[in-house]
Every structure is written in C-alpha cells, then in structure tokens.
A and B are shown apart, each in its own frame.
Chain A
Amino acid sequence: MSLELHNITKQVGADTHIHPTSLVLKPGSFNVLLGTTLSGKTTLMQLMAGIQKPSSGTIRFAGKDVTGVAVQKRNVSMVYQQFINYPNFNVYDNIASPLRVAGMSSAEIDARVGKAADLLRLTPMLKRRPNELSGGQQQRTAIARALVKDSDLILLDEPLANLDYKLREELREELPKLFAGREAIVVYATTEPIEALLFGGTTAALHEGRVTQFGPTSAIYRTPRDLVTAQVFSDPPINTAIVEKRGETMTVFGNVAWPAGSARSLPDGRYTMGIRPHHVTPEKAAKTSGAFTGRVLVTELSGSESIIHVEVGGSTWVSQSHGIHAFEVGASATLHADLDQALFFGANGELIR
C-alpha cells in the first residue's frame, strides 16, 4: 500500500514548480517535507493527493496507477495551515462530513465521530460552529476530520504554523500518537527543521521544487548530501565560509588560519565549509576549534539560549549557545567554532566530509 512517485513534474505556464521527483512512501510511515516557503511543499502534496495533476510522470498507489484519478476517488485526507472547516456546519457535522459523503450509516458515523472527538478533546464542542472555537480547537476539528475516515494518505500542510506557541507545543506532542498504529502514510510539511527532528521518521528536504535528499531524518541531519540540504535543515541558518585547506591547516575568511579539523584527511584545495550555529560558541568548548573575531550585529536572548549574529569576513555567522551571553551591538566578539563538527562541500555543493 505504498505511494510511489515516478519522475513527476509540475509546470505552470513557463514556471517549473516541481522538478522531476521520485519518492517511495511506505505505509505506516511518518514523512516530513522540509523546505522553506515556496519550495514546493504544498504543490507536491497536492500532486500526491490528486488535487493537481502532474505535468509528467506517474503516481502509483499500492501498485496501481492513480496519476489521473480525481481526488474524490482516492482515499486521502488533508489538513491545511489555515484552519479550514465548513463554516456552516457545527463541529460534529464537520467531522462527520467525509463519512456522510461516503454513505456510512448514522450509527457508524456517530461512533466514529465520537471516537475522533474524544481523541482530540472536542467532545464538549460538538454542537458549536467553527467560528465559535479557538484557533487550536478549529485545527483539532480539521485534524479530527482527517482522521475519522481511514485514509490511505494523510497530508498535513504546516498544520501548526498558525497556532500560538503553547498550542503548537501541545499538538506537536499529540500528533505522532494520533498516527501511531495506523496503516496510513502520513506526510507532514513544515518549514522548521526542529519539527522534522522531533517527529523523526523520514524526511524529504525540498529546495526550489527539487527534493534534494530523502531518507531517515537523523541521517539527513547528520550527513546532508549537499550544501542546499544542509541549509534547508538548519535553523538558525548554517554558517558557511570558503576555506583553503593546506596540510594540517586551513585558511578561512581570507586570513585566519585554523586546524583542518574534520577536513584533515581531505586532499588540499578549496572547499565550502558549513558549521551549524550550535557548534559556534563564545567559550572554547571543543578539542579542535577555530577562533575568530567579528563585529556583533544583534544578540537574541531566549532565557536559556543566546543567538549571536556577527559579521566576519564579509558574511554573517550565527552562534547559538546555552546560557546568556550578552554582547553590545557593534562590539567585537571572539567566537569558537567546533571544527570536528564542520561539514565540507566540494565545488558542486556536494558533501565530501
């Protein structure tokens, strides 16, 4: 019952929204589509659901070609970022609507809606209209409607993005439990790398309509195939610099000499180095580290963490560290990069080490 995309593309006029993409999603799997806004997450989901038709390529479900099959004929559910419910139906009717269309008996509908409402703690609100609910409850209703029919494919398009912090944390924790033990393929689109890491499962990193890498989430995080994937999968953005490696040392920012770190076994030459912000700290923490001094652009303090943006060698580097490190804007700060954790990319952007 797996969903297979074979070389699907989506062209709209002269624009290519999705470049040739092939993915195989297994039943019972939790798949995260990770990418920035406009990277093609929603389009890819609409292609999977059948709301849009691919310009070329085939989509197979459980071995059958479903490329041209209308969305009504497929067994899918979808939850959007905006809280989409039928405004003229109360919560009960909203949840019951896919079952009613399917022609289920009212006793069966009652039982299923009751169960879904229970699961999403909506039982006291069943008689209310969506506009009488809070944002969190509205999104719960949408999720309940997606769960109530036993869909083969459940698509969640940034379902938590419009919720406030507390509700997001709460639902984020509940979501994996709701899907556990189901046969359905779950696809979850998000712009936030942290969500992908929290949910685990498999991740497809998307950039400008291309799946740059698809595989187990932690593997992609640790060894991104290329620089673009590393950039998609890093928040705050990954720090990059061009380095010249010579023997045991390398030159960064044009004139700073650092030990080669994880690049020590690479042949001499020019590389793009990437270091995640949490590997750049105000205190020397790692065995092999490189120090640099930059001008502080801004410091964000979150209480337990400090995020320091500095300007160095013409680019902006970000440091993310525990504790409070307050720097004056414009002051110079010395930071230490953990070079054993550095990633090195070749001229074509591919990961070398």
Chain B
Amino acid sequence: MTKRSFVPIIYIIFLMLPIYWLLNMSFKTTNEILGGFSIFPREFTLDSYRTIFSDPSWYMAYVHSLIYVGLNTLFSIAVALPAAYAFSRFKFLGDKHLFFWLLSNRMAPPAVFVLPFVQLYSAVGLHDTHIAVALAHTLFNIPLAVWILEGFMSGVPKELDETAYVDGYSFPAFFGKIFIPTISAGIGVAAFFCFMFSWVEMLLAKNLTTVAAKPIVAAMTKTSSASGYELGLLAAAGVLTIIPGAIVIYFVRNYIAKGFALGRV
C-alpha cells in the first residue's frame, strides 16, 4: 500500500462501514444482533429476506413505493418540460423572479407541509393513495426538474428550433421528434433526481399513507411489531431499499457524468 492510496482507502472504509453493518445485520438473527458485538454473522440466516419476499405487508410496501415514485417522476418531468422550455426560450414579466421562487420551494422543510397536506388530501378523499404521495413530492421535484432541464435546454441553441420551423416542423412535432431527443441526457438526469428524492423522502410518504399505499420507508422504520423487535428483518428491508437506487444510478451513470458537465445541477 502506497502513501497515495492510504487516504482514499480510509475514506472508502468509513463510507462503506454503515452499509456493511446493515448487510451484516440482515444475515443475523435478532437475538445475535441484541446479544453482542460480532463482525461476521455467527449463525448465517436468510430468514429475514424470506419473510420480506413472502409477506405481502413487506413486499407490497416496495410496490407501493415504486408506484408513487414512478408516478411522481412522470408528473414532474411532464410538467417541468414545458415550464423549462418557457424559461429557457422566452422572456416574460418576472421570469427571473419566478424561476428563483420555484427553486426556493426546495428550501422549505417538508415538515412544514405535513399538516396542510394530510388535511387537504383527507378532505378530498386522496388520503392513503399513491397519487397523494406522488403529488406531494412534486412540490420538491418539479422545481428541481425545471432547474435541471432549463440548464440543458439553454445549452441547445435556439437556432435549432428555428431550423426545425424552417424545415416545416410544427411546434409539437419539433418538441417531440427533435427537441426531447436532443436533451435526453438532461431528462435522464432530472428523472434520476426526481426518483431519488421521492424514493428517500419519508416524512410526507409516511404521514399521507396508512395501509393501502404504505411505502417501504414507513414499513422499515417501525421498530417493533407483534413479535417484538425484528432488527434482522428491518436490516434486510434496508438492504433491499438501497438496491433500486443503485440500479438507477447504474443506468444513468453516463448521463449523469455528461449531465453535470452540460447542464447545471
């Protein structure tokens, strides 16, 4: 080991330690976890994973999460695309202020919105639905997506739009056939961030749901159940929660690298 690699290795060990500990716990029995300190599981067991994949209250929690995260990403991108186009291509009264105001929405802590959202969604009968969580998360994700997409769109010269019109494309045809493919990297980056923020957000997701749309972040943070502490089970749920994010990162990794360079994130 050279001197140069010493610091990065220490850094990576610190970084990976909690993840390792989670993985370690997920293969232990709850008794062993509570029994004392052990670097490796003494009784290696897959029971926790078996429970998650066989008990609907566990695996459906993943499905619920994926549904509202997917819906949210879809909503956010669908709304942000035209908004970002307007910000990047047109000048209008107060455009800069509006753009900043959008971003300032991200600065408010989600806790502020818990009470009004819960009351509002209950009143209109949306409480405990996927739509409720998906809509609540657009509060944070639309501004972010607009911000990211605007950067990418402004990187495309407006002469491209004009060339398309000169060639005879109508605006919708240009937008769908030429403009969206041109900024696909930006859409990938924006979708990735929407996915991640929605996937990890807990407070709103937990409070807006009870049973029918209970997400995994809510399920895995209940510390006790009818059978007492189930720390192994919770650890396994945690491991499985990391996986979708890792998969998404794998798919957009090239876009992200390109995206950070091109747009502003």
Binding site for B on A (CB under 8 A): 46, 49, 51, 70-72, 76-78, 80, 82, 84, 86-89, 97-98, 101-102, 142, 145
What separation, in Å, do the CA atoms of A145 and B157 have in the docked complex?
Answer: 18
Q: Are A51 and B165 in contact (CB under 8 A)?
A: yes
In the assembled complex, how far is the CB of residue A92 from the closest CB belonging to chain B, in whole angstroms? 15
Q: Given A71-B166, A72-B169, A76-B166, A82 and B159 touching (CB < 8 A)?
A: yes
Interface centre among A76, A87, A89, A102 (most CB of B within 10 A): A87
Query: Which residue of A has the minimal Cβ distance to B157?
Result: A82
Q: Is B168 an interface residue (CB 8 A)?
A: yes
For chain A, what secondary structure do more than half of its interface residues adopt (helix, strand, loop), or is it mixed?
Answer: mixed
What separation, in Å, do the CA atoms of A51 and B174 have in the docked complex?
Answer: 15
Q: Are A51 and B162 in contact (CB under 8 A)?
A: yes
Query: Which residue of B has the minimal Cβ distance to A71?
Result: B165
Across-interface contacts of A78 in B (CB, < 8 A): 162-163, 166
Please list 7 pairs of residues, one from A and one from B, whose beta carbons are closer than 8 Å in the complex, sorted by A's number. A77-B167, A82-B159, A84-B159, A84-B160, A86-B160, A88-B181, A142-B163
Q: Is B178 an interface residue (CB 8 A)?
A: yes
Q: Is B182 an interface residue (CB 8 A)?
A: yes
- Which of A46, A80, A87, A98 contacts B167 (CB under 8 A)? A98
Q: Given A86-B178, A87-B182, A51 and B169 touching (CB < 8 A)?
A: no
What separation, in Å, do the CA atoms of A169 and B168 have in the docked complex?
Answer: 31
What separation, in Å, do the CA atoms of A77 and B168 have in the docked complex?
Answer: 10
Across-interface contacts of A76 in B (CB, < 8 A): 166
Interface centre among B159, B166, B173 (most CB of A within 10 A): B166
What separation, in Å, do the CA atoms of A97 and B173 have in the docked complex?
Answer: 12
Among B168-195, those with CB < 8 Å from A are 168-170, 173, 178, 181-182, 184
In the assembled complex, how far is the CB of residue B62 from the closest CB belonging to chain A, in whole angstroms? 35
Q: Are B166 and A77 in contact (CB under 8 A)?
A: yes
Across-interface contacts of A70 in B (CB, < 8 A): 165
Q: Are B166 and A51 in contact (CB under 8 A)?
A: yes
Q: Given A78-B162, A84-B163, A86-B160, A102 and B168 touching (CB < 8 A)?
A: yes
What separation, in Å, do the CA atoms of A102 and B170 have in the docked complex?
Answer: 11
Across-interface contacts of B184 in A (CB, < 8 A): 88
Across-interface contacts of B168 in A (CB, < 8 A): 72, 98, 101-102
Across-interface contacts of B178 in A (CB, < 8 A): 86, 88-89
Across-interface contacts of A51 in B (CB, < 8 A): 162, 165-166
What separation, in Å, do the CA atoms of A51 and B159 have in the docked complex?
Answer: 10
Q: Are A72 and B170 in contact (CB under 8 A)?
A: yes
Q: Are B165 and A72 in contact (CB under 8 A)?
A: yes
Across-interface contacts of B165 in A (CB, < 8 A): 51, 70-72
Across-interface contacts of A82 in B (CB, < 8 A): 157, 159
Query: Which residue of B has the minimal Cβ distance to A76?
Result: B166
What separation, in Å, do the CA atoms of A72 and B160 have in the docked complex?
Answer: 14
Interface centre among A76, A97, A145 (most CB of B within 10 A): A97
Interface centre among A49, A70, A82, A101 (most CB of B within 10 A): A101
What separation, in Å, do the CA atoms of A312 and B165 have in the docked complex?
Answer: 52
Q: Are A80 and B163 in contact (CB under 8 A)?
A: yes
What separation, in Å, do the CA atoms of A310 and B145 have in the docked complex?
Answer: 57
- Which of A49, A87, A88, A102 contacts B166 (CB under 8 A)? A49
In the assembled complex, how far is the CB of residue A15 from the closest CB belonging to chain B, in whole angstroms? 13
Q: Given A88-B178, A88-B181, A88-B182, A145 and B159 touching (CB < 8 A)?
A: no
Q: Are B167 and A145 in contact (CB under 8 A)?
A: yes
Interface centre among B165, B167, B168 (most CB of A within 10 A): B167
Q: Given A76-B166, A84-B160, A101 and B182 touching (CB < 8 A)?
A: no
Across-interface contacts of A142 in B (CB, < 8 A): 163
In the assembled complex, how far is the CB of residue B170 from the closest CB belonging to chain A, in whole angstroms? 6
Q: Are A97 and B182 in contact (CB under 8 A)?
A: no
Q: When each residue 141-171 of chain B gets 1 if its CB lies under 8 Å from chain A and 0 otherwise, what string results?
A: 0000000000000000101101111111110
Q: Are A80 and B182 in contact (CB under 8 A)?
A: no
Interface centre among B157, B168, B169, B184 (most CB of A within 10 A): B168
Q: Given A80-B159, A86-B178, A101 and B166 touching (CB < 8 A)?
A: no
